[in-house]
Structure 1
Amino acid sequence: MLLAEDLLLLLTDDETGKLAASGTEVDVALGGALLVELALKGRVDVAGANDRVREGRLVVRNPDPTGDGELDEALTLVVEREGKKPQSVVTRLGKRARVRLYQRLVERGVLRVEADRILGIFPTHRWPSNDAAHESSVRTALLTALREGAAAEARTGALISLLHALNAVHKTVAPDSLGLSETELEASAKRIAEGDWAAKAVRQAIDSINAAVIAATSSAVIVGGGGGSS
């Protein structure tokens, strides 16, 4: 399961099938999750002082296919836009990714799709849970990390970092389930987002990507935001 799919599951209410954050914000975060996964796999990095592209821009370390169609499509886009700022690539990666990821989760039996209409006119979809086993295992790792204030492995650290960038940790985890206040929960997420849970190269890439997610999300909200579940 992709990191972006785990993020989308956490941000989608199991009962209503609706998002816990605005569609615009989620789309940006999903683009960030795809880029983070490419970084974790050693395919993409943020350029250093002596790289072939300008420092701080995206550089491709390994263009070989990952074996996952969605991730390979993301890698192709990054290859085409090598040398660009992470923010611009995150935004591009997030466009239309949400519905494709939802459809993958439906095909795997994790979610089901329910068609509806807003005001009886405008078509929309909801994506309630069909099999919560995978999400439950992801959530268990998330809760353990947040309770301890540290991530045991990079994937959980990346997921919490993305949720923190969205300011959505409290929307996916009930603070009282951990015996924490909302302030304490956010503080724990912040420690993890800034923590030393990844190798140096991956850490640098994820720091830049998370900054891009925050910046792109802020820009989208200022322009007009977005919403909806499909």
Structure 2
Amino acid sequence: MAQIAEDLFLLLLDNASGRPGLDRRRRQRVLGAATLLDLAWSCRVRPSVEGEPAGRLIALTGTGPLDPITGPALELLSQRPLKPAAAITKLSRHTEDRLVAHLERSAQIRRIPLPSKSFTKWAASAEPVLPLVNRDRAGPARSALLSALFDRRPPAPPTAAIISLLHATDGLGALLSLNDRGWRWVHARAGEIALGSWVDESPTGLPEINLAVTVSALRPALGS
């Protein structure tokens, strides 16, 4: 299950408009990166180490199930190790479409057809309307994000990954509306999480450590 990518997309849709709250380019890149972090959390991808091609993401063998979101990402890296920026660029092309199709099939979102005929020009340029069917996932995901940022509760790995990705792309404004003081607090706390403080705040094992290390490898590519 691509929990990080799915939860991130559902959070971006969790608004009255039924449209993602982040511009298309940043959204596509952050969703592509999220699929890599899902693979890192399941220990199917890791950054290269000494003796391997420097600055690359390496695919690992495993027996766990894949899904329509993480499967193509692992297949891409299985062909050859890639730099994070290259992997994100390639995955950003189709990840959102795969997420929309998967979440629609699993009845977590629904698609509202756009007007046609006299509204053809407008419809062609508009974002699709994709309201949530319910908030069973988006609600708890948002509560966990707010608790990590404002209550300083140790975030679960998916929450830490989402905060790290949005912080790297200056995308937290898609989820939050704050005054200057609030943003100073959020940026400071999100920066701590992005740097891996969450690994020390709660019990962690190899999957969590690999996730944090992979976040560190992806952040420069997302911030450029």
Does the Cα contact within 8 Å between 2:47 and 2:56 map onto a contact in 1? Answer: yes
Does the Cα contact within 8 Å between 1:63 and 1:79 map onto a contact in 2? Answer: no
AA paired with 2:107? G
Gaps of 5+ in 2: 200-207
Aligned partner of 1:211 in structure 2 is: 220
Aligned partner of 1:202 in structure 2 is: 211
1:64 to partner: Cα distance = 4.2
1:31 to partner: Cα distance = 0.6
Number of equivalences? 210
Does the Cα contact within 8 Å between 1:158 and 1:206 map onto a contact in 2? Answer: yes
Aligned partner of 1:223 in structure 2 is: none
1:65 to partner: Cα distance = 5.3
Aligned partner of 1:72 in structure 2 is: 71
Does the Cα contact within 8 Å between 2:55 and 2:83 map onto a contact in 1? Answer: yes
Which among 114, 123, 126 is matched to residue 116 of structure 1?
114
1:63 to partner: Cα distance = 5.0
Distance in 1 between residues matched to 2:182 and 2:155, nearest whole Å: 22
**Structure 1 residues 90 and 48: alpha-carbon distance in aligned structure 2, compared to 1, 3 A threshold:** same
Aligned partner of 1:170 in structure 2 is: 173
Distance in 2 between residues matched to 1:151 and 1:62, nearest whole Å: 30
* Structural mapping, 1:1-230, within 5 Å: 2-50=3-51, 53-62=52-61, 64=63, 66-82=65-81, 84-117=82-115, 120-122=119-121, 123=124, 124=126, 125-149=128-152, 151-175=154-178, 181-198=182-199, 199-215=208-224
Distance in 1 between residues matched to 2:65 and 2:219, nearest whole Å: 22
Gaps of 5+ in 1: 216-230
Distance in 1 between residues matched to 2:196 and 2:210, nearest whole Å: 14
Cα root mean square deviation, aligned = 2.3
AA paired with 1:18? R
Query: Among the aligned pairs, what percent are the same residue?
Result: 27
**Structure 1 residues 65 and 74: alpha-carbon distance in aligned structure 2, compared to 1, 3 A threshold:** farther
Instruction: Please list the CA deviations of residues 56-75 of structure 1 after superposition, one character each: whole Å capped at 9, or x if unmatched.
Output: 21112225453323211211
TM-score (norm 2): 0.84
Aligned partner of 2:204 in structure 1 is: none
Does the Cα contact within 8 Å between 2:68 and 2:102 map onto a contact in 1? Answer: no
Distance in 1 between residues matched to 2:70 and 2:64, nearest whole Å: 8
